[in-house]
Amino acid sequence: MIIEITGEYIELNKLLKLADIAPTGGIAGEMILEGEILVDSIVEMRKKRKIYPGMTVQHDDNVITISKKAS
């Protein structure tokens, strides 16, 4: 899945909600703190990690690639 962002970055917890990986921000935070989320193939424990275009986020079989939306 490719998610396009308009800003410079998106926070990890917000990305998980946007991609329908987590139904709420609270659940997204729990998933992150439980070590269920990989950023560029490394377990990420920071809820507000800045995710920039070109980075990938993974949860189970869901792989999200971030790209910059053309203006």
Please tell me the pTM assigned to this model.
0.90
**What pLDDT does 46 receive?**
95
Could you list the beta-strand ranges (E) of the chain: 2-5, 10-11, 38-39, 42-43, 50-51, 56-59, 62-68
Please report the domains of the chain, with CATH numbers, ordered by start residue: 2-68 (3.10.290.10)
C-alpha–C-alpha distance, residues 22 and 14, integer Å: 9
Q: How confident is the model over 2-15, as pLDDT tens digits?
A: 999 999 999 999 99
Q: In this predicted structure, what is the pLDDT of residue 42?
A: 97
Tell me the C-alpha distance between 71 and 61, whole Å: 31
